[in-house]
């Protein structure tokens, strides 16, 4: 019962290669079918995200030789030259494959340490493969373990709690003031890439109302259309600042576009409701004196970057805790794997010993002509009972003692030792 | 004193505090729920401890400092639990539990009472006292919430977030919790004061306005009504309202200490 993993990620492959080897949902299903139809794998699961493409599987034979076949398959499936792919692919077997998946689910292998999305992507990949019938007992257990690791790491460590991008840090800060943002309103000044990142985050948090204001009406329309917002005319400050709880500004302007007087007047009209201003412009879009106004919170790009840096350090400090959870679950999984394999081994051993017993009876007992049939049956029964007694204790200990299973490192060696006549000769 | 009840209550509150602390540190929902459950368990055993004291007195235990302290601690825990469940916010537990623990422990570690029945008793009087202490505990809670608001607000404005700010409740929720707490206090103190006057009326038929406790209680009532009105107004919402709430509690504290101990004739421990 071998587990094999072949894949590439942001560390081993440039974007161009990752793009060519990524799988759509349909492609992942097709690849799984083909891998099983060709007999390369018995169980398969394809995990494909923007930063990684990985194939997990259980080959028919435990030989640690299935990775080259999988690499060739990937090369053919995506029509990529084997030499291009070869330098980007990594492959792992058994313990290392399990550890790799658990680290992926924990967010330890992500480009952004501790990112939350990967756990959902692992869950979705597993759901899809399971529905397709591509997984079996081994991958089911493996991926259920991975999901548990992901959940535990998120619940028990701070690996994913603090924001590590300027956009998410800004949105999290807004939540420190207002709580949940689902009944809140936001105004976005400027329609560039960074504004879009923040808008995307705000929409993910369920912000109720979104207004976009930009010098170029076209770009404002495009952003508003993409995220379901409403466009306001540039310069309509009285109207624009009346509603929003959060203002995000990233306008290319030499002078501040929001000055103290404008915001002060707006605060009077809005009955001093708290206002969170995110200034992502360079040079700054919001006059520094605005920060002194009552119930106004201003964070510029430097403030947010500093928070991001602090949070990144805080996340890195959580790595040992997360690795320890991963290690614990790798141990659990391997113990389960060994127990399944050993139970199979004991069953095979039982079958082999029964065959030997039959042979023994044929050779030794049948020569005794005067032995009645009833006595012969009794001898057979006693021998069977003795076999069961001999196998019972080891079988029970293998089921009950996790430490014992952990000590048995190589089930294949035991198989060779006890079943070599039948299996290997 | 029943030591089993005392130990159970102390253990439940102390474990609850430890779990609230762990919850604040890790954010684990299960830990938070366990903290709440232990607080509820502490409330139950604390109630039985109070009941035992009441049986000896044949009334609510308010006749001495220790009894009223224990009752205050219990009502503080009850008010906090109500607020926590209503607002679904557990991060404040770690600040409130030490007060509950201190009030309970101080009340029960004090020298044993003689359990002599108080001069003033009867259901009207008991409700007057209980509701007044409930009001004070609710005001104490609003004080704690306002203090947390001011600290968090300052940290946010100065961009000094550290590890703390990410764990605390959002500012607007703190304001809401503080207002809810003050509302509980206002309703309790209004009914409690009215019952107090009713009791005096029944007892003597005349009101003695020479007791400074009357004046300061009415002042407290007025100040909290003002807070409640201003907390959502244009000029006061936010930090100013929180400062007012803290000022109001300073008056409550004055009423509890200086007025009770040195000025009032009939209100010694509540």
pLDDT in tens, A149-162: 999 998 888 887 77
| Residue B199 reports pLDDT greater than 80 | no
Q: What percent of chain B has pLDDT over 70?
A: 87
Q: Do B85 and B212 fall into the same domain?
A: no
Q: Chain A contacts of B161, Cβ < 8 Å?
A: 307, 310
State residue A423's pLDDT score: 45
Q: Do B134 and B45 fall into the same domain?
A: no
Domain termination site, one of B84, B118, B152: B118
The residue among A177, A185, A275, A308 with the most chain B CBs within 10 A of its CB, best to mutate, is A177
Q: Do B109 and B138 fall into the same domain?
A: no
- Nearest CB partner across the interface for B159, out of A177, A294, A303: A303
Q: Do B246 and B139 fall into the same domain?
A: yes
B29-57 and B65-87 are packed helices; what angle lies between their axes, rounded to 10 degrees?
Answer: 150
Contact (CB<8Å) A176/B28: no
Q: Where are the alpha helices (H) located in B58-122, listed in sequence order? A: 65-87, 93-109
Decide: residue A337, CB within 10 A, 0-12 exposed, 13-18 middle, 19+ buried: buried
What is the C-alpha separation between B220 and B167, in angstroms, rounded? 32
| Residue A313 reports pLDDT greater than 80 | yes
Please state, in angstroms and as integers, the Cα–Cα distance from residue B174 to each residue in A61, A419, B93, B235, following that order.
62, 70, 13, 18
Whether the CB of A162 is below 8 Å from some CB of chain B: the reply is yes
Q: Do B152 and B236 fall into the same domain?
A: yes
- Within 164-183 of B, beta carbons closer than 8 Å to A belong to 165-166, 168-173
Kindly calculate the radius of gyration of chain A based on its CA atoms and give it in whole angstroms. 31
State residue A409's pLDDT score: 65
The mean per-residue pLDDT over the stretch B186-213 comes to: 79
Q: What percent of chain A has pLDDT over 70?
A: 97
State residue A123's pLDDT score: 94
- Within 122-151 of B, beta carbons closer than 8 Å to A belong to none
- Nearest CB partner across the interface for B171, out of A172, A177, A310: A177
| Residue B58 reports pLDDT greater than 50 | yes
State residue A326's pLDDT score: 96
Contact (CB<8Å) A161/B166: yes
Q: Name the β-bridge partners of A9.
A: A52
State residue A98's pLDDT score: 96
State residue A134's pLDDT score: 94
DSSP state of B208: -
- Nearest chain B residue to A267, by CA: B234
- Nearest CB partner across the interface for A272, out of B161, B168, B238: B238
Q: Do B76 and B193 fall into the same domain?
A: no
CB pairs under 8 A between A and B: 60
Q: Chain B contacts of A318, Cβ < 8 Å?
A: none
> In this structure, how many other beta carbons lie within 10 angstroms of the beta carbon of residue B153?
20
- Nearest CB partner across the interface for A307, out of B157, B161, B168: B161
Longest distance between any two alpha carbons in chain A, whole Å: 118
- Nearest CB partner across the interface for A176, out of B156, B233, B240: B156
Q: Who's near B44: CB < 8 A, 6+ residues apart?
A: none
Q: Name the β-bridge partners of A4.
A: A57, A93
CB B182 within 8 A of CB B142: yes
Q: Which residue has the tokens 């943002």?
A: A181
Q: Chain A contacts of B157, Cβ < 8 Å?
A: 291, 297
The residue among A171, A270, A272, A303 with the most chain B CBs within 10 A of its CB, best to mutate, is A272
Q: Chain B contacts of A175, Cβ < 8 Å?
A: 170
CB B131 within 8 A of CB B69: no
Q: Do B133 and B210 fall into the same domain?
A: yes
State residue B67's pLDDT score: 75
Whether the CB of B110 is below 8 Å from some CB of chain A: the reply is no
DSSP state of B116: P
Domain termination site, one of B81, B96, B118: B118
> In this structure, how many other beta carbons lie within 10 angstroms of the beta carbon of residue A113?
18
Contact (CB<8Å) B29/A271: no
Contact (CB<8Å) A176/B239: no
> In this structure, how many other beta carbons lie within 10 angstroms of the beta carbon of residue B208?
10
Segment among A17-26, A358-367, A408-417 with least mean pLDDT = A408-417
Contact (CB<8Å) A176/B233: no
Closest CA to A208 of A243, A177, A169: A243
State residue B208's pLDDT score: 62
Mean pLDDT, chain A, as a whole number? 88
Q: Do B159 and B190 fall into the same domain?
A: yes
Closest CA to A173 of A313, A289, A275: A275
Mean pLDDT, chain B, as a whole number? 86
> In this structure, how many other beta carbons lie within 10 angstroms of the beta carbon of residue A239?
13
DSSP state of B63: S
- Residue B188, classed as helix, strand or coil, is helix
Domain termination site, one of B101, B118, B135: B118
pLDDT digits (tens, 9 = 90+) for B157-183: 999 887 778 888 999 999 999 999 999
Whether the CB of B158 is below 8 Å from some CB of chain A: the reply is no
Which range of residues forms the domain containing residue B105? 1-118
Length of chain B: 270
Q: Is A9 left (phi over 0), alpha (psi -120 to 50) or beta?
A: beta
Q: Chain A contacts of B238, Cβ < 8 Å?
A: 272, 274, 294-295
- Give the CA-trace dihedral at A273, A276, A282, A283, to 10 degrees: 40
Query: A34 pLDDT band (50/70/90 cuts)?
Result: very high
Q: Do B170 and B212 fall into the same domain?
A: yes
Segment among A4-8, A136-140, A335-339 with least mean pLDDT = A335-339
Q: Chain A contacts of B156, Cβ < 8 Å?
A: 173, 176-177, 297
Cα four-point dihedral sign B13, B14, B16, B17:
positive
| Residue A246 reports pLDDT greater than 90 | yes
Longest distance between any two alpha carbons in chain B, whole Å: 60
Q: Chain A contacts of B172, Cβ < 8 Å?
A: 177-179, 274
Segment among A93-97, A340-344, B143-147 with least mean pLDDT = A340-344
Whether the CB of A313 is below 8 Å from some CB of chain B: the reply is no
The encoded tokens of residue B91 equal 């991060």
State residue A425's pLDDT score: 39
Q: Chain A contacts of B170, Cβ < 8 Å?
A: 175-179
Q: Which residue has the tokens 């109207």?
A: A239
What is the C-alpha separation between B168 and A307, in angstroms, rounded? 17
Catalytic annotation, pick one of A15, A50, A282, A392: A50
Whether the CB of A178 is below 8 Å from some CB of chain B: the reply is yes
State residue A117's pLDDT score: 83
Kindly calculate the radius of gyration of chain B based on its CA atoms and give it in whole angstroms. 19
HEC letters along chain A: CCCEEEEEECCCCCHHHHHHHCCCHHHHHHHHHHHHHCCCCCEEEEEECCCEEEEEEECCCCCCCHHHHHHHHHHHHCCCCHHHHHCCCEEEEHHHHHHHHHHHHHCCCCCCCCCCHHHHHHHHHHHHHHHHCCCCHHHHHHHHHHHHHHHHHHHHCCCCCCCCCHHHHHHHHHHHHHCCCCCCEEEEECCCHHHHHHHHHHHHCCCCEEEEECCCHHHHHHHHHHHCCEEECCCCHHHHCCCCCEEEECCCCCCCCECHHHHHHHHHHCCCCCEEEEECCCCCCECHHHHHCCCEEEEEHHHHHHHHHHHHHHHHHCHHHHHHHHHHHHHHHHHHHHHHHHHHHHHHHHHHHHHHHHHHHHHHHCCCCCCCHHHHHHHHHHHHHHHHHHHHHHHHHHHHCHHHHHHCCCHHHHHHHHHHHHHCC
Q: Do B79 and B201 fall into the same domain?
A: no
- Nearest chain B residue to A155, by CA: B28
Q: Is A50 a catalytic residue?
A: yes
- Nearest CB partner across the interface for B238, out of A161, A172, A295: A295
Q: Do B16 and B125 fall into the same domain?
A: no
Please state, in angstroms and as integers, the Cα–Cα distance from residue A123 to each residue in A67, A128, A142, A149, B268, following that order.
24, 9, 12, 12, 64
State residue B209's pLDDT score: 60
Contact (CB<8Å) A155/B235: no
State residue B207's pLDDT score: 61
Whether the CB of A327 is below 8 Å from some CB of chain B: the reply is no
For each of the domains in chain A, give its residue range(s) and CATH number, in order of start.
Answer: 4-161 (3.30.460.30), 166-306 (3.40.50.720), 328-423 (no CATH)
pLDDT digits (tens, 9 = 90+) for A358-371: 888 777 777 777 77
State residue A4's pLDDT score: 94
The encoded tokens of residue B50 equal 């109070």
Closest CA to B106 of B231, B230, B10, B16: B10
Whether the CB of B102 is below 8 Å from some CB of chain A: the reply is no
| Residue A300 reports pLDDT greater than 80 | yes
Q: Chain B contacts of A271, Cβ < 8 Å?
A: 233-234, 237
Q: Who's near B148: CB < 8 A, 6+ residues apart?
A: B92, B95, B168, B169, B174
What is the C-alpha separation between B119 and A192, in angstroms, rounded? 76
Q: φ and ψ at A58, to 5 degrees?
A: -120, 110
Q: Do B128 and B249 fall into the same domain?
A: yes
Contact (CB<8Å) B161/A295: no
Provide the domain count of chain B: 2
The mean per-residue pLDDT over the stretch B63-91 comes to: 87
Instruction: State the nearest Cα–Cα gap between B26 and chain A, in angstroms.
Output: 6
Closest CA to A236 of A208, A257, A222, A219: A257
């Amino acid at each position: 019962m071998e587990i094999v993993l072949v894949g590439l990620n942001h560390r081993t492959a440039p974007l161009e290669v990752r793009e060519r080897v990524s799988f759509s949902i349909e492609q992942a299903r097709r690849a799984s079918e083909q891998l099983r139809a060709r007999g390369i794998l018995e169980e398969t699961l394809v995990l494909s995200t923007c930063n990684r493409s990985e194939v997990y599987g259980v080959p028919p034979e435990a030989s640690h030789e299935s990775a080259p076949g999988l690499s060739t398959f990937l090369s053919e499936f995506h029509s990529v030259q084997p030499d291009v792919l070869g330098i980007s692919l990594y492959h792992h077997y058994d313990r290392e494959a399990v550890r790799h998946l658990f680290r992926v689910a924990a967010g330890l292998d992500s480009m952004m340490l501790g990112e939350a999305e990967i756990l959902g992507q692992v869950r979705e990949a597993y759901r899809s493969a399971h529905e397709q019938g591509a997984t079996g007992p081994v991958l089911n257990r493996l991926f259920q373990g991975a999901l548990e690791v992901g959940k535990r790491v998120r619940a028990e460590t701070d690996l994913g709690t603090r924001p590590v991008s300027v956009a998410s840090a800004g949105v999290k800060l807004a939540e420190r003031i207002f709580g949940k943002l689902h009944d809140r309103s936001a105004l976005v000044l400027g329609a560039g890439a960074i504004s879009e990142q923040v808008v995307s985050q705000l929409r993910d948090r369920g912000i109720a109302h979104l207004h976009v204001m930009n010098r170029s009406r076209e770009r404002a329309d495009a952003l508003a259309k993409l995220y379901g917002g409403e466009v306001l005319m540039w310069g309509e400050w009285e109207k624009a600042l009346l509603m929003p709880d959060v203002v995000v500004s990233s306008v290319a302007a030499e002078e501040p576009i929001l000055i103290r007087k404008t915001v002060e007047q707006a605060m009077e009209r809005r009955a001093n409701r708290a206002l969170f201003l995110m200034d992502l412009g360079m040079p700054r879009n919001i006059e520094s004196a605005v920060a002194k106004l009552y119930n106004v919170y201003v964070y510029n790009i430097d403030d947010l970057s500093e928070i991001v840096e602090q949070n990144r350090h805080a996340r890195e400090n959580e790595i040992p805790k997360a690795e320890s959870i991963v290690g614990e679950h790798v141990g659990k999984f391997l113990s389960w794997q060994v127990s399944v394999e050993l139970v199979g081994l004991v069953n095979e051993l039982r079958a082999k010993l029964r065959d030997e017993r039959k042979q023994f009876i044929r050779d030794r007992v049948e020569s005794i002509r005067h032995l009645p049939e009833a006595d012969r049956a009794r001898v057979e029964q006693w021998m069977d009972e003795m076999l069961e007694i001999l196998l019972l204790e080891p079988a029970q200990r293998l089921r009950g003692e996790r430490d014992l299973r952990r000590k048995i490192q190589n089930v294949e060696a035991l198989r060779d030792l006890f079943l070599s006549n039948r299996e290997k000769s | 004193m029943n030591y089993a009840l005392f130990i159970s209550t102390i253990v439940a509150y102390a474990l609850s505090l430890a779990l609230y602390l762990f919850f604040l540190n890790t954010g684990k929902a299960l830990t938070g729920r366990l903290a709440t459950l232990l607080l509820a368990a502490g409330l139950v055993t604390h109630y039985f401890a109070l009941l035992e004291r009441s049986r000896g007195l044949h009334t609510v235990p308010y006749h001495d400092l220790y009894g009223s302290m224990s009752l205050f601690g219990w009502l503080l825990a009850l008010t906090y639990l109500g607020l926590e469940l209503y607002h679904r916010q557990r991060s404040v537990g770690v600040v409130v539990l030490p007060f509950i623990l201190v009030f309970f422990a101080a009340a029960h570690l004090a020298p044993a009472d003689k359990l002599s029945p108080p001069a003033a008793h009867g259901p009207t009087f008991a409700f007057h006292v209980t509701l007044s202490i409930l009001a004070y505990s609710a005001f104490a809670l609003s004080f704690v919430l306002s203090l947390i608001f001011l600290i968090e607000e300052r940290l946010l404005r100065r961009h000094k977030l550290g590890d703390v700010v990410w764990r605390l409740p959002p500012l607007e929720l703190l304001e809401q919790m503080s207002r809810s707490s003050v509302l509980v206090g206002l309703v309790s103190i209004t009914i409690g004061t009215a019952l107090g006057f009713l009791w005096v009326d029944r007892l003597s038929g005349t009101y003695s306005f020479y007791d400074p406790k009357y004046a300061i209680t009415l002042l407290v009532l007025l100040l909290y009504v003002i807070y409640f009105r201003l907390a959502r107004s244009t000029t006061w919402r936010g930090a100013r309202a929180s400062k007012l709430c803290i000022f109001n509690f300073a008056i409550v504290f004055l009423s509890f200490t200086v007025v009770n101990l040195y000025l009032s004739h009939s209100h010694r421990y509540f």
